[in-house]
Structure 1
Amino acid sequence: MNALVLAAVLAANPTPITLEDARVRSRENTQALTAVLQASSAEQDVRVARSSLLPQVGFRAGASVNYVGPQRSYSIVPVPGGGFEQLPIDTPEATIPGISLGVSVSQLIYDRAVWARLEQSGAQLEATRGQALEQRDTSELEGIQRFFALFRTQATIQVLEANVRRSEQQLERAQALFQAGRVGKAEELSAQVNLGNDRIAVVTRQSQLATDQVRLVTWLAMPGAEAAVAVDPGVLNQPPAPAPSLDMALQEARSRRPLLRVLRQQLRAAELQESIARAGYLPRLSLSGNFQHAGPDPEIFFTRPDRQNSVSGGITLSWDLFNGFTTQAQTRRAQYQSRISELNLQQSERELEGAVRQAHEALMTQLAATELAEANRKAAADALTLAEERFNAGVSSTLEVRDAQLKLTQSELTLLENRIDVEIARFALMRAMGTLAPGEAK
């Protein structure tokens, strides 16, 4: 039976995935890349905001043709002896061409709102970058959890297969004792039923294995039909590392958690919105200049660049002295939004401290539970050894051995669950602290 299960797994030609692979690929999955692209888009918003401070240069060129039909007009002329009279003047039709080239330059000298918008776009960029880091950590933790879910199922199948082997050995012993006339046929049949139930437990786990494989590979942006196997990270063969102190965890979270960076930059952007609104009380100053070369005669236009030219320039001061209290209302609204951002930051800081404490307590609890589970497993293994010795001596039944066997299997599964939960809790604490990627500044 074990060979059949192993052959079914190998037939799928699974792709081995290490814990580090899962972490790296999770940081580059669809959700994480989307957040990075949003940060790149925010960089372009900064460029757009900066463009208003740079010279604005425009070029225009045009050609036109005006047709004027036959016209009659009157001209008032003096006549001999005094007085005036109107003389009709007839003009024939005419086609008048026109060609023009022009360059305009404008430069903003002072506008507080433009500078504030540039600062605000910078704060929003930093907030978006923080969101990208936050999403990257979220994606990485999800990848870690899915990796351990697959590894848990694989390890569970191995524990159940070990139980099958114990049941096979128990059936062989029962058959041998029955043939020796030391136990009845019921003991052999009972051992055979137990073996069948254990094999069923292994087979039914294969469905969960496929589910965990799909959840992991799709999260890592791999083809959904691709089979995968979680490479043993070695955590089951070594004692878990101790948890950091709560004070250190809180200190790391305050300085490294990307979420706080996001909220601080959002608060700064809200404060700069107040500056933008108050800019309505201040004047704006700008320079402008225009050059134009135009004329109705193409020959003169193209051969005499010293003619048909005009240059103009000026400085403009504009000041909204009264706009119906619009500036006052916009300033008040910006102040309210700034206060909202400040309250959100304060609340998030409190919630972050609570999340760190909760994650720290979860890790401590799992460490204690794992220690107890290890002691239970050792006791269950000793109990099974004793039950088998009694059965071989003919002083106990298959039922006693089966009970000890199930208790050992359950204690092994409990130890497995708690040991993996320790690692998941450890990474969850690192996520709350913002230290999943310690080599990168937050």
Structure 2
Amino acid sequence: MKLSKNSIVIIAFLLSLSINSQEILTKEKALEITLENNFGIKIAKNNLEIAENNTSIYNTGFLPTATLNSGANYQRNNQSLTFTDRTTGNDSEISGDGVVSKTYNASLALNYTIFDGFGRKYNVQQLKETYNLTELQARETIENTYLQLFTTYFQIARLSENTNNLAEALTISKQRLQRAQYQYDYGQSTKLELLNAQVDVNNDSITLITAKQQLNNAKRGLNVILGSKDDTNFDVETEVDYNKMLNYDDLKSKTLENNSLLKQNEKNIAISEFNIKINKANFLPSLNFNTSYGFNKTVNENLINPFGAKLITSDGLNAGLNLTWNVFDGGATKTRVTNAKIALDNQQILLEQQKVNIENNLKNTWENYNNQLFILSAQEQNVLSNQNNFDRTQERFKLGQITSVEFRQAQINLINAKTALNNAKFDAKLIELQLLQLSGDILNVKF
């Protein structure tokens, strides 16, 4: 079936409408989807739930233990008994085959540790600190996911704008090729001008295809971060706002107070302190209470012993206290306490090291951020200058006052300037997010 020219135009128009109506994935929506579906965040939440379960009273040792035991036993034996008459000294024997004895028993035992040298108390406090540590680890995971999300999001925005710039450049190159073709057909230019225009169109086409491929790859990467199972296509917002209220002294104060890595190390120190106390608890005695109620029944059938009992039953309540004091364990407890103190010292050293490293990282990032804002301002002026230069060059090229080489150079300069501006714009925002992550404020960022 042949399509008319009008039909082709209509189809192209509808396709353009479809492309232009592609869904916009806002920053807020991307963040909402990520917090709900991201795989790493889901695992972090599960780990937090495990840590919470570990702080339950069922895992602290403060509850008693109860044990129920029961059993039954059946015996069928051949028996013989020999009696000696004390008067005559003669022996007499009684025997029986298939003598049956049945035994039944049941008991309920309750055990409770009254005192264990405060080991349980310190263990509970350590479990609570472990939960707090896991909570901070989950927060760090979310912070890293925030940064990963917006790094990819802004990379898509960067590639989208670069792709649009390259598409615009290709359109200009095609117009130049068409002009060169007309001039060559009418003998107003040489074959060389036409060939140069064709080469530039090919190069611009290849560059545009490469940019589109990079854009598609970045979108697929964002789908992974979003936890999306489908290969969803979308557009993103390209507007960027900067936080003009950032101050180095405030950032430093917040970093030392709220940085997730520093907070985690502080919790590790608390855990190490409780570990020392838990090990020291082994120097003290432990007191345990136990009680049980038991029932036993024995049934002896076809007895051969005339003095034996055919039925024996017993039941009763037993209770007791047990004091245990490991006076000397060969120095094992002393060694564990000493090693726990060394581990605590290592955690304190690590905290100081982290403070130095993070403060140095903050200084470098802050300086980089200010430099990037300056570069952004300079690139904005550079684009204006190159755009003005290109517009003038294009007019002169149309009038035949300059060569295609000069026109092409002006076009390349404009493309490079726009690309550099895009890079500066999004790099500055990403560095700003790194500053907010260092200060522990990235989760409060507003877009």
TM-score range, shorter chain: 0.7 to 0.9
What amino acid is the match of 2:94? Answer: D
> Is residue 320 from structure 1 mapped to residue 326 from structure 2 by the alignment?
yes
Name stretches of at least 5 consecutive residues in structure 1 with no aligned partner.
299-306
Q: Which residue of 2 aligns with 1:250?
A: 252
**Mapped partners of 1:214, 1:322: distance in 2:** 64
Could you state the TM-score of these two structures normalised by the residue count of structure 1?
0.85
Matches within 5 A, 1:247-396: 247-297=249-299, 308-396=314-402
- CA gap of 1:416–1:7, structure 2 versus 1, over 3 A, is farther
Give the 3-state SS of the residue equivalent to 2:202 in structure 1: helix
**Mapped partners of 2:136, 2:363: distance in 1:** 22
- 1:167 to partner: Cα distance: 2.3
- CA gap of 1:288–1:191, structure 2 versus 1, over 3 A, is same
Give the 3-state SS of the residue equivalent to 2:371 in structure 1: helix
What amino acid is the match of 2:298? Answer: P
> Is residue 431 from structure 1 mapped to residue 437 from structure 2 by the alignment?
yes
8 Å CA contact 2:22–2:235 kept in 1: the answer is: no
Q: Which residue of 2 aligns with 1:304?
A: none
**Mapped partners of 2:90, 2:33: distance in 1:** 93
- 1:182 to partner: Cα distance: 6.8
8 Å CA contact 2:266–2:351 kept in 1: the answer is: yes
Q: For structure 1, which segment, 350-359 or 405-414, has the greater mean C-alpha deviation from structure 2 after superposition? A: 350-359
- 1:178 to partner: Cα distance: 6.7
> Is residue 90 from structure 1 mapped to residue 90 from structure 2 by the alignment?
no
- CA gap of 1:91–1:126, structure 2 versus 1, over 3 A, is farther
**Mapped partners of 2:83, 2:132: distance in 1:** 73
Give the 3-state SS of the residue equivalent to 2:68 in structure 1: strand
- 1:274 to partner: Cα distance: 0.7
- CA gap of 1:371–1:260, structure 2 versus 1, over 3 A, is same
- 1:400 to partner: Cα distance: 1.8
> Is residue 234 from structure 1 mapped to residue 246 from structure 2 by the alignment?
no
- CA gap of 1:74–1:286, structure 2 versus 1, over 3 A, is same
- 1:288 to partner: Cα distance: 0.8
Name stretches of at least 5 consecutive residues in structure 2 with no aligned partner.
1-10, 301-312
Q: For structure 1, which segment, 173-182 or 322-331, has the greater mean C-alpha deviation from structure 2 after superposition? A: 173-182
> Is residue 37 from structure 1 mapped to residue 46 from structure 2 by the alignment?
yes
What amino acid is the match of 1:356? Answer: L
- 1:291 to partner: Cα distance: 0.5
- 1:174 to partner: Cα distance: 5.0
**Mapped partners of 2:199, 2:59: distance in 1:** 78
> Is residue 157 from structure 1 mapped to residue 163 from structure 2 by the alignment?
yes
Q: Which residue of 2 aligns with 1:18?
A: 26
8 Å CA contact 1:49–1:118 kept in 2: the answer is: no
**Mapped partners of 2:394, 2:54: distance in 1:** 74
Give the 3-state SS of the residue equivalent to 2:76 in structure 1: strand
**Mapped partners of 1:356, 1:387: distance in 2:** 45
- 1:262 to partner: Cα distance: 1.7
**Mapped partners of 1:179, 1:241: distance in 2:** 57
Structure 2 residue corresponding to 1:191, chosen from 182, 188, 197:
197
> Is residue 114 from structure 1 mapped to residue 120 from structure 2 by the alignment?
yes
Identity score, percent: 20
**Mapped partners of 1:105, 1:233: distance in 2:** 68
Structure 1 residue corresponding to 2:67, chosen from 55, 58, 69:
58
**Mapped partners of 2:89, 2:57: distance in 1:** 65
8 Å CA contact 1:182–1:394 kept in 2: the answer is: no
Give the 3-state SS of the residue equivalent to 2:29 in structure 1: helix
**Mapped partners of 1:230, 1:334: distance in 2:** 54
Q: For structure 1, which segment, 327-336 or 249-258, has the greater mean C-alpha deviation from structure 2 after superposition? A: 249-258
- 1:437 to partner: Cα distance: 1.6
> Is residue 102 from structure 1 mapped to residue 107 from structure 2 by the alignment?
yes
What amino acid is the match of 1:23? Answer: L
1:177-198, CA deviations, whole angstroms, 9 ceiling, x for partnerless residues?
6788876665455334323322
**Mapped partners of 1:51, 1:218: distance in 2:** 40
Structure 2 residue corresponding to 1:148, chosen from 126, 146, 154:
154
- 1:393 to partner: Cα distance: 3.4
1:224-273, CA deviations, whole angstroms, 9 ceiling, x for partnerless residues?
x61423412422xxx64436111111222223222222211111111111
**Mapped partners of 1:388, 1:207: distance in 2:** 30
8 Å CA contact 2:24–2:237 kept in 1: the answer is: no
**Mapped partners of 2:196, 2:25: distance in 1:** 41
8 Å CA contact 2:77–2:100 kept in 1: the answer is: yes
**Mapped partners of 1:9, 1:201: distance in 2:** 25
- CA gap of 1:436–1:212, structure 2 versus 1, over 3 A, is same
Give the 3-state SS of the residue equivalent to 1:265 in structure 2: helix
Q: Which residue of 2 aligns with 1:302?
A: none
Could you state the TM-score of these two structures normalised by the residue count of structure 2?
0.84
Give the 3-state SS of the residue equivalent to 1:333 in structure 2: helix
Structure 1 residue corresponding to 2:129, chosen from 108, 123, 134:
123
Q: For structure 1, which segment, 112-121 or 374-383, has the greater mean C-alpha deviation from structure 2 after superposition? A: 112-121
What amino acid is the match of 1:116? Answer: Y
- 1:49 to partner: Cα distance: 7.0
Give the 3-state SS of the residue equivalent to 2:444 in structure 1: coil
Tell me how large the CA RMSD over aligned residues is. Answer: 3.0
- CA gap of 1:148–1:72, structure 2 versus 1, over 3 A, is same
**Mapped partners of 1:128, 1:19: distance in 2:** 28
**Mapped partners of 1:125, 1:40: distance in 2:** 9
